[in-house]
Amino acid sequence: MEAPLTVQIVEFNTKVMQEELKKLGLKVNHHEANITFLKSEIYAIEESIADLTIKRGKKVVASSNGTSVQEAEQRTIESICNQDKTAASLICQLKKRHSTQISTMPMMKDILGVVATLGKTNDDNLSSLLSEYLGIDNMLGLVCKTYDGIKSLETYGTEGNIDKKSGIHGLGGSIGKILHGRFTVFCLENIRPFSGEVVIDDPQRYLMLRKPRLPNGESPPGFLGFAVNMILMDQAYLSCLTPHGHGLRETLFYSLFSHLQVYKTTADLRRAIPFINDGAVSLDGGILRPNGSFCLGDSFKLWGFKHTWKYH
């Protein structure tokens, strides 16, 4: 027996409404997916410029005669040269005073320079903090392009003793300079590079790092950026790439700083601890190392590198 007409009409309208609701549900899901995608795109764009604030906000300003940056760099080299009996001092002296004689030496051609001479920052506090964070051994470290360059620096006798008449030791002896103690050397081609994206349309090749985010999507208060992106490199070093096309920021500086975060104050840094994985520093002197240890007490400023990394 057929249902009354009114019941059929109600059932028909119900089915139509259900179909419409299904369509609306699909549209809502589609729009939500679009919103999620757009949010991810927004975050990606934000990350690409996240830690360029200091770079954009402050610029290296030379004096009216255009020599302030060069003078600062020369002071850096002079200060390194005064670190007697170190490999860094020897290399700087050779490049400064015997550049013609050593220009064709394979060993010297492979040495890019000393860590302290390869980057700049625009902020005195940040300069001192980053130098203190790295320590003098790293700041005075030599940077070689290849492992062959590393091997040429030092050779050994049959019993494993250092041959003082060859390599960098023999070179030092030839100008009356004797090396004392150990020294750090970085090999660019052996450093595991940053595996993420870089800002390819910027000659500085800043790393696209994901900012720390609070549950509301904002960065922790006082977060300024990542230390690795606050180093400015001279034009001469921007073209220095490994055989795989990685630059100094992706190799040397990333190996030194990783995701080290920079905050305005120690209070900001401590509030952000849950969002810090690879250490942090604050412009008022706070240092939190990647192993979770804090550096307390008065800061002992070994260096300063406002324009270039230089000793105080």
CATH assignment at residue 265: 3.30.70.1620
Q: Is residue 300 part of a domain?
A: no
Same domain, residue pair 128 and 70? yes
Same domain, residue pair 94 and 153? yes
Same domain, residue pair 74 and 173? yes
Same domain, residue pair 195 and 58? yes
Under the banding of pLDDT at 50, 70 and 90, the label for residue 56 is very low
Same domain, residue pair 180 and 87? yes
In this predicted model, which residue has the larger pLDDT, 306 or 243?
A: 243
Indicate if the pLDDT at residue 49 is higher than 80. Answer: no
Tokens of 188: 């660019």
Q: Is residue 9 part of a domain?
A: no
Indicate if the pLDDT at residue 308 is higher than 50. Answer: no
| DSSP-assigned states of every residue in the chain | -PPPHHHHHHHHHHHHHHHHHHHHHHHHHHHHHHHHHHHHHHHHHHHHHTT-HHHHH------TTS-HHHHHHHHHHHHHHTSTT-HHHHHHHHHHHSHHHHTT-HHHHHEEEEGGGS-BBS-HHHHHHHHHHH-HHHHT-EEESSHHHHHHH--B-TTS-B-TTSHHHHHHHHTT----S---EEEGGGSPPP-S-B-TTSTT--B-PPPP--TTSPPPTTEEEEGGGS-B--HHHHT---TTS--TIIIIIHHHHTT-EEESSHHHHHHTGGG-SS-EEETTS-EE-TTS-EE-SS----EE-BSS-EE-
Domain range enclosing 255: 37-62+191-293
Same domain, residue pair 74 and 137? yes
| Structural domain count of the chain | 2
User: How far, in Å, CA of 224 to CA of 298, rounded?
Assistant: 23
Q: Tens of pLDDT along 143-160?
A: 999 999 999 999 998 888
In this predicted model, which residue has the larger pLDDT, 188 or 57?
A: 188
**Mean predicted lDDT score pLDDT of the chain:** 82
Q: Is residue 28 part of a domain?
A: no
Q: Is residue 27 part of a domain?
A: no
Same domain, residue pair 125 and 213? no
Same domain, residue pair 111 and 49? no
Q: Is residue 89 part of a domain?
A: yes
Q: Is residue 301 part of a domain?
A: no
Under the banding of pLDDT at 50, 70 and 90, the label for residue 70 is low
pTM to 2 decimal places: 0.75
Under the banding of pLDDT at 50, 70 and 90, the label for residue 311 is very low
CATH assignment at residue 92: 1.20.1060
Indicate if the pLDDT at residue 133 is higher than 60. Answer: yes
Q: What burial class does residue 3 get, using C-beta atoms within 10 Å of its C-beta: 0-12 exposed, 13-18 middle, 19+ buried?
A: exposed
Amino acid at 185: V
In this predicted model, which residue has the larger pLDDT, 146 or 309?
A: 146
The torsion angle over the Cα atoms of residues 5, 10, 12 and 13, rounded to 10 degrees, is: 140
Same domain, residue pair 196 and 269? yes
In this predicted model, which residue has the larger pLDDT, 3 or 23?
A: 23
Of 161, 187, 213, which residue is a domain's last? 187
Q: Is residue 95 part of a domain?
A: yes
Same domain, residue pair 43 and 81? no
Of 187, 205, 230, which residue is a domain's last? 187
Of 135, 161, 187, which residue is a domain's last? 187
The pLDDT value given to residue 66: 45
Q: Is residue 271 part of a domain?
A: yes
Q: Tens of pLDDT along 225-267?
A: 999 999 988 888 888 888 888 999 999 999 999 999 999 999 9
Indicate if the pLDDT at residue 13 is higher than 70. Answer: yes
Under the banding of pLDDT at 50, 70 and 90, the label for residue 307 is very low
In this predicted model, which residue has the larger pLDDT, 52 or 246?
A: 246
Same domain, residue pair 146 and 96? yes
Same domain, residue pair 182 and 196? no
